[in-house]
Amino acid sequence: MNSPPQPTRTAAVIPAAGRGVRLGPGAPKALRALNGTPMLIHAVRAMAASRAVSLVVVVAPPDGAAEVKTLLSDHSLPDRTDFLVVPGGDTRQESVRAGVDALPPDVGTVLVHDAARPLVPVDTVDTVIETVRAGAPAVVPALPLADTVKEVEPATERGAPERVVATPERARLRAVQTPQGFDREVLVRAHETVEASGEGATDDAGMVEQLGLPVVVVPGHEEAFKVTRPLDLVLAEAVLARRRANDGF
Ligand code: CTP
Ligand code: MG
């Protein structure tokens, strides 16, 4: 009896359906420009830069799928990569699920990468993929923290003093980034098992932890920071300018 072929392709799902409330008024965050190119295009190129990634699934703002398809065809992207666009949902968790549901059967390894992290270097992407392929069910790039972190009793009134509850040992803490990498079956099971509540999960690996499966951290990169607030746009454009200068453009 012949067993079915093992799903061997690696795909990247890019949730890009958020509004970007913390960035302030304007177009959906993923469609805002960084040095003239939409953030989403930078993020798509960052995933397609890995030779291991043969498919990129973009999860577009619910009413923006047509616009995203146009953007993808208007910008130069590697020929070796396939692209799919699906509409997203009200929470990041719903959007990621929409992307995962669109994956073809031959995909065995899945990256989930925030469109809001447009500048992640390809070495970080490759390290995550290699660690999944070596047998880890879930892999997260992360960095040690610069700041000490306090756990507080959150105040109900904005700006009011908050009582400190604990100070976790900084050396044991990591700030997690994307792309997070998964064995496809594990990610699907996590999305089927973990209830969406409130804002939904902001971290896919956290859902795998809830299944009781091991999640490992690999080194992240300072250029994989998330564009969240207006100052992050300034930093992102500075990183692009430095890359240009170093590349001799
Ligand atoms: N995201 C998504 N669908 C949602 C919410 C978020 O696909 N319903 C995506 C965002 O587009 C982003 C990533 O999840 O690429 C990380 O989310 P975040 O940085 O919080 O982006 P936004 O939710 O857009 O920003 P904000 O929370 O400030 O509104
Ligand atoms: Mg958000």
Residue extents of the structural domains in the chain: 9-139+177-247
Per run of 10 residues, the mean pLDDT along the chain (length 249 residues) is 78 98 95 97 98 98 96 96 97 96 98 98 98 97 97 95 98 98 97 78 89 96 98 98 85
Instruction: Tally the C-alpha atoms within 13 A of residue 221's C-alpha that lie toward its C-beta.
Output: 18
**What's the pLDDT at 36?**
95
Asked if residue 95 has its Cβ within 6 Å of ligand 1, the reply is: yes
User: For residue range 113-142, what is the model confidence (pLDDT) as tens digits?
Assistant: 999 999 999 999 999 999 999 999 999 999
Query: Does the CB atom of residue 15 touch ligand 1 within 6 A?
Result: yes
Query: With the CA atoms of 48, 215, 103 and 114 taken in that order, what torsion angle do they form, in degrees rounded to the nearest 10?
Result: -50
User: In this structure, which residues have their CB less than 5 angstroms from ion ligand 2?
Assistant: 18
58 lines ligand 1 (CB under 6 A): no
| Ligand lying closest to the C-alpha of residue 179 | 1
pLDDT value at position 122?
98
Say which ligand is closest to the CA of 20.
1
Q: What is the pLDDT of residue 194?
A: 85
Beta bridge partner(s), residue 112: 13, 180
- Say yes or no: domain 9-139+177-247 is CATH 3.90.550.10: yes
Phi and psi at residue 110, in whole multiples of 5°?
A: -125, 130
Ligand 1 atom nearest the C-alpha of 16 is 11
pTM > 0.85: yes or no: yes
Which pLDDT score, from 0 to 100, does residue 198 have? Answer: 65
pLDDT score, position 152? 97
The Cα 78–Cα 138 span in angstroms is 27
| Residue 17 near ligand 1, beta carbon < 6 Å | yes
Q: Indicate if ligand 1 lies below 6 Å from the C-beta of 244.
A: no
